[in-house]
A = this chain, B = another copy of it.
């Protein structure tokens, strides 16, 4: 793999490749040309070839791509085979939406626990995931090494919670709080989910199309 060269734009497209390749694999497609893959993804064949060439030589001239091996390779590149584990902080509406409806395991991530401050939630489980008191966080992380902390807490405590997660050994923060996190420490990765950015992009495209 030539990881050094990979642009952020290519990384952002990889999950889409993964989804399309999974769909194709489920449909029983064995191999596919770059032009057919591109057509189904609204990309040009040369864009596909260029993207995938960042990671090595998967396709063969005149043969196309083997769907299942490319899918596995993309999964590997995306870190889906690294055994990442996650905890959710905040079991309010959004936290519960993730616990109940989002399939972490489909992204190669094992969701092991949730934490909240509400006495009505602590001690219960949602979709088989136990909800603990936030007071138990440090104790839990020391016994269960965890790579990802999901922040669905109020923005006012996002900073404090991220510090506690990082002190507990978490490597990545999936941040739904709309607060900018100023993370200290080497190798800590933050992925922000900004609903507003998405809605504003939609607003732009609607306004442009009128």
Q: Which residues in A have some Cβ–Cβ distance to B below 8 Å?
A: 3, 9, 11-12, 14-16, 18-19, 77-80, 82, 84, 92-94, 96-98, 100-104, 106-109, 147-148, 171-172, 174, 187, 189, 191, 193-210
Contacts and interface: CB of A to CB of B under 8 A. Distances in A.
A191 B205 contact: yes
A171 B206 contact: yes
Nearest to A208: B3
Given A187-B210, A195-B193, A209-B189, A14 B200 contact: yes
Contacts of A82: 203, 206-207, 210
Given A82-B203, A94-B94, 19 more contacts: A9-B9, A15-B197, A15-B200, A16-B197, A77-B204, A78-B204, A80-B200, A82-B210, A92-B101, A93-B100, A102-B196, A104-B199, A107-B196, A107-B200, A109-B203, A148-B199, A172-B202, A187-B209, A191-B202
Nearest to A23: B180
A194 B107 CA distance: 12
Contact of A79 (B15, B189, B206): B206
Contacts of A208: 3, 79
Contacts of A106: 196
A187 B209 CA distance: 6
Contacts of A108: 203
A103 B92 CA distance: 17
A148 B202 contact: yes
A41 to B, nearest CB: 10
A69 to B, nearest CB: 19
A168 to B, nearest CB: 15
Nearest to A189: B205
A38 B2 CA distance: 29
A208 B114 CA distance: 26
Contacts of A207: 78-79, 82, 84
